[in-house]
Amino acid sequence: MRKLEGRWALVTGSSRGIGQQIALGLARRGCNIIVHGREARNGRKTIELLAGCEVQTHLVAGDLATEPGIRAVIDGVNAHPGTLDILYNNAAISNRSTPLFEFPMEVWLQTFQVNLFAMIRLCNAFAPGMRERGYGRIINLTSGIADQPNLAPYSVSKAAVDKYSRDLACELKDANVLVNYLDPGWLKTDLGGPNAWEDVETVLPGALVPALLDDNGPTGRLYSAQDYKMLER
């Protein structure tokens, strides 16, 4: 099925891990991919993996923890040869396990900067164009983390992602710009660690479901990638 053929998708943090899997899954369905990494060299492996999918690719680089980095990503996307149809806000950071009351404010601020504020900046940059064109799919990566106050900056930032996603969905209702949030599951990645429950490949095909929704489909909803892991990838 190549339902997304000819569309363009930006997947932040697609130089490895979950983002790389999402990029590959989209490309296999005919979607052109904008690969993102903190540095350009980080995205080259994903570009190589996409070479066999017969899609167009474009590489952008920028550290989402910094204002110049976010601007570089936005400018890089605007310089690509198409219009952005699909946005996966996948890039995120976690924290070292720390007693709740001992987290420095710098950790809270840095975590929210990458996990929430950068995501909002990208939505502000690209969602209005999607609304004007009458098509868009925005998927914000969240987490099912619970009862781990030792990782509070990460978990609280992801709760904020959920609420923002619902607000953005309401703002864009009736525009055929569907905004949903995706829990990929606890996966063996650099962020999830080696003791996670699932291999990173199990994020497919479930992670693609919000991008494959029919026009004027569900919006403002939580999807769990692991609910679909028994389906054929």
Contact 8, 86 (CB under 8 A): yes
Least confident residue range of 60-69, 137-146, 151-160, 195-204: 195-204
88 a catalytic residue = no
Pick the CATH number of 8-228 from 3.20.20.60, 3.40.50.2300, 3.40.50.300, 3.40.50.720: 3.40.50.720
Structure confidence at residue 231 (pLDDT): 57
Handedness of CA 121, 125, 126, 128 (dihedral sign): positive
Query: Which one of 154, 164, 181, 223 is the catalytic residue?
Result: 154
Q: pLDDT band at residue 233, thresholds of 50, 70 and 90?
A: very low
Q: Above 60 in pLDDT, residue 91?
A: yes
Q: What is the largest CA-CA distance in the chain?
A: 51
Contact 225, 206 (CB under 8 A): yes
Domain ranges within the chain, ordered by starting residue: 8-228
Q: What is the mean pLDDT of residues 198-215?
A: 91
Q: Please, what is the average pLDDT of the chain?
A: 93
Structure confidence at residue 79 (pLDDT): 95
Prior bond to 205 cis, omega within 30?
Answer: yes
What digits encode the pLDDT tens for the residues 17-34? 999 999 999 999 999 999
Structure confidence at residue 198 (pLDDT): 75
